[in-house]
Amino acid sequence: MQAAFHTSIHKYLVNGEQHWANASDPSIPEALAPAVAGIESLNSFPRKAMNKFLGTYSEETKQMTSTQPSYTFSCGNGQTCYGIVPYDFAAIYDVQALWNAGINGTGQTIAIVGRTNINQSDPNTFWSLFGLSVPANKLTVTLNGPDPGINGDEGEADIDVQWSGAVAPQALINFVTSQSTNTTDGVDLSAIYIVENNLASVMSESYGACELGIGTSGNQFYYSMWGQAAAQGISVFVSSGDNMSAGCDDPNGPANFGLNVNGLASTPFNAAVGGTDFNQYNKWSSYWNSSNSTTTHQSAKDTFQRLPGMIRAPTRSP
């Protein structure tokens, strides 16, 4: 390893988990530079899903203890939180106007990056629950290699599939999933598969790792891959995560590692998508109806996006 890549492999204990990784950025002979963009991975640190569970989810059982969504719930400190459903999203971000104009994803395919399998009935249940009309063959699951099975990433995969399909109800969704290997994260394998096979006009990835953590080679890998996607006409969307510019740090603690955003989302060839804030505190009646629609469960007022804005509002279902 030292002779080939000029680095050594060490064991590391991080947050109680044991991993192995290269101790410094690997390098390759200059003669190979025209053919090799970089070494994608020499470690066992996985990409992190960019989601956070709310409501009655149990970390011990990995399940929601209630099967019914909570549309309005207490956030603590006397604050009220409103769970965003697809028609709420359409009202807040003026998507309804696009739907009315026939811009609803017709003729488009969205490829979703994953490393778990999913219960394929869940997305259809989600779309039906909120009154969305979707094509009968809307969802395809593509296995890139061995089936990784349903694992701890199912929650992220469900969110990504369901919400992309909700905002673009007539688009087709191709969920591509790969099993991680000892040297390469399944997330990266799925992304490579989508780009190499030119699978869709749009792709979405909701995983992250900070720029410092993935190193020079890792950053070069995403720069090259998203650059290839852009050249092929693929629009790449990557979740920026909640850590903002302190991407290497715990969002609930102090920043210790300086300015490091999500390296997967920091190239000029992708769109980095983050959260949105609304100034709705103690102004609930200005933004929200007192009851939900019986068909779509919308409670956000249609004038929401025209009202002045800035408190954190969720862009995902509870």
Average pLDDT over residues 72-77: 75
Split at pLDDT 50, 70, 90, the class of 186 is very high
**In whole angstroms, what is the distance from residue 271 CA to residue 31 CA?**
33
Average pLDDT over residues 17-39: 66
Summarize pLDDT for 246-282 with one digit per residue, the tens: 777 777 777 788 888 888 999 999 999 887 777 777 7
Classify burial at 157, counting beta carbons within 10 Å of its beta carbon; exposed 0-12, middle 13-18, buried 19 or more: buried
For the beta sheet containing 109-114, the strands, ordered from the edge strand earlier in sequence to the opposite edge, are: 139-144, 172-178, 109-114, 202-205, 235-239, 271-273
* Domain positions in the chain: 84-277
pLDDT at res. 72: 79
Summarize pLDDT for 110-153 with one digit per residue, the tens: 999 999 999 999 999 999 999 999 999 999 999 999 999 999 89
Q: Where do the H-state alpha helices sit in the chain?
A: 2-5, 86-92, 95-100, 121-129, 154-167, 186-196, 211-231, 284-287
Split at pLDDT 50, 70, 90, the class of 314 is very low
Residue 291 has pLDDT above 60, yes or no: yes
Residue 313 has pLDDT above 50, yes or no: no
pLDDT at res. 315: 39
pLDDT at res. 88: 93
Instruction: Give this prediction's pTM.
Output: 0.80
Q: Are 288 and 82 in contact (CB under 8 A)?
A: yes
Q: CATH says 84-277 is which class?
A: alpha beta
User: What average pLDDT is seen over the chain?
Assistant: 82
pLDDT at res. 109: 98
Residue 30 has pLDDT above 80, yes or no: no
**In whole angstroms, what is the distance from residue 286 CA to residue 298 CA?**
15
Split at pLDDT 50, 70, 90, the class of 198 is very high
Q: Give CA 94 to chain center in angstroms.
A: 22
- C-alpha radius of gyration, the chain, whole number: 21
Average pLDDT over residues 163-180: 97
Q: Which of 23-27, 190-194, 310-314 has the highest mean pLDDT?
A: 190-194
Q: Which of 69 and 213 is assigned the larger pLDDT?
A: 213
Worst-scoring range by mean pLDDT, 197-211, 224-238, 259-273, 298-312?
298-312
Q: Which of 39 and 282 is assigned the larger pLDDT?
A: 282
Q: Are 49 and 207 in contact (CB under 8 A)?
A: yes
Average pLDDT over residues 156-183: 95
Report which residue type is found at 238. Answer: V
Summarize pLDDT for 156-165 with one digit per residue, the tens: 999 999 999 9
